[in-house]
Amino acid sequence: GAVVSQHPSWVICKSGTSVKIECRSLDFQATTMFWYRQFPKQSLMLMATSNEGSKATYEQGVEKDKFLINHASLTLSTLTVTSAHPEDSSFYICSARDPREGRTDTQYFGPGTRLTVL
Q: Which stretch binds other proteins (CB under 8 A): 12-20, 36-44, 63-71, 74-82?
A: 36-44
- Residue 53, judged by CB atoms within 10 A of its CB (0-12, 13-18, 19+), counts as exposed
Which H helix or E strand runs over 97? strand 90-97
Candidate list 19, 25, 34, 50; residue touching other proteins; CB under 8 A: 34
**C-beta separation of 112 from 8 below 8 A:** no
Does 43 contact other proteins by CB under 8 A?
Answer: yes
Candidate list 46, 68, 74, 76; residue touching other proteins; CB under 8 A: 46
Whole-number Å distance between alpha carbons of 86 and 50: 25
Measuring CA to CA, which residue among 72, 66, 79 is closest to residue 54? 72
Q: How far is the CB of 83 from other proteins (least distance, A)?
A: 26
The interface with other proteins within residues 68-107 (CB under 8 A) comprises 91, 93, 95, 97, 104-107
17 or 55: whose CB is closer to other proteins?
55
Whole-number Å distance between alpha carbons of 97 and 2: 9
Site residues, other proteins (CB under 8 A): 1, 32, 34, 36, 41-46, 49, 91, 93, 95, 97, 104-112, 114
